[in-house]
Amino acid sequence: MSTDTAMVPVNIDVQLPSTQLGSDDVFAELAQGGDYLGRMQLYTKGKAVNKAQILPGHYGIPESNDNILDLGMTVHLLPLARRPKAIDMTDTEALVISYDVASDEFQRIRTAADQPESHCQYGPSFLVYEPGTNRFLEFFCGNKSNRIEAKKIYPFLPLTQADIDAKAAAGNDVSGLVPHGPIPLTLTVQVAENKRGSWHVPVVNAAAFPLKRIPPTDAIVREIVKFLSVKDNGVEKVNEAAQGRAR
């Protein structure tokens, strides 16, 4: 169906009954196409911007090679979990992803990422909930600018007593820490520049108002467990088309 065709409703004079069985949230979940986690990213340069699929400085969700859902320059999020991630995109037919910082593969990618045109990235990966689309998404802070801002997301993540105990066991100061749930935040955008040019970077802000929509607790728990479940000793190999769907 062409997206250029105008959507004109058929005029029906009779009063119709309800036309759906189930809530809008149910149908949104059914239309996701499978148990895949989408990803959200900040676009600044590259093929998608050159093809006018999205404006530079906008956050977006890549739905396919030809379709990006534009979220604009301001995104409200509920951060839920974090994990380390390193990705080698040298072979676009078989991307290599590692979640184990101590592994040789992660360290290889991390070292390579410091080289120009390495096609490698590493950094914190966050599980977030975006209420506008009613979706759980991954937000990966894999380049230098994003990594610098990523640490500002940490205080907004939920903090459990188990987290506090783990920090204490590691010798960290936990005085004043109390368990709390996830705290809404807002991502905006600013322009960074140096002698080599300019680019867009994310900016973390405290949310000015509470989120109007929050998923059920059981759904949040389910997504966190999936997000933190690591396969194949921390290393995945996926093709480029499936990269946005990989857990």
Measure CA 140 to chain center: 6
Tokens of 120: 């490698």
- Helix (H) or strand (E) holding 125, with range, is strand 120-130
Check residue 116 and give its pLDDT.
84
Q: Where are the domains of the chain?
A: 35-170+177-242
Tokens of 155: 């205080």
- Helix (H) or strand (E) holding 150, with range, is helix 144-150
pTM: 0.82
Measure CA 129 to chain center: 8
Q: What is the pLDDT of residues 42-52, one digit of tens each?
A: 999 888 898 98
Report the largest interatomic distance among the alpha carbons of the chain, rounded to a whole angstrom. 72
Q: What is the pLDDT of residues 159-208, one digit of tens each?
A: 999 999 999 999 999 999 999 999 999 999 999 888 778 889 999 999 98
SS3 call for 52: coil
Nearest to 100 by CA among 90, 85, 110: 85
CB proximity list for 119: less than 8 A, separation 6 or greater: 88, 89, 90
Cα–Cα distance list, 51 to 40, 46, 54, 61 (Å)? 18, 9, 8, 16
Nearest to 226 by CA among 34, 30, 24: 34
Cα–Cα distance list, 210 to 99, 179, 184, 244 (Å)? 32, 19, 7, 29
Q: What is the pLDDT of residues 50-93, one digit of tens each?
A: 898 999 999 999 998 889 999 999 999 999 999 999 999 988 78
Which span out of 13-17, 22-26, 94-98 was modeled with the highest average pLDDT?
Answer: 94-98
Check residue 3 and give its pLDDT.
46
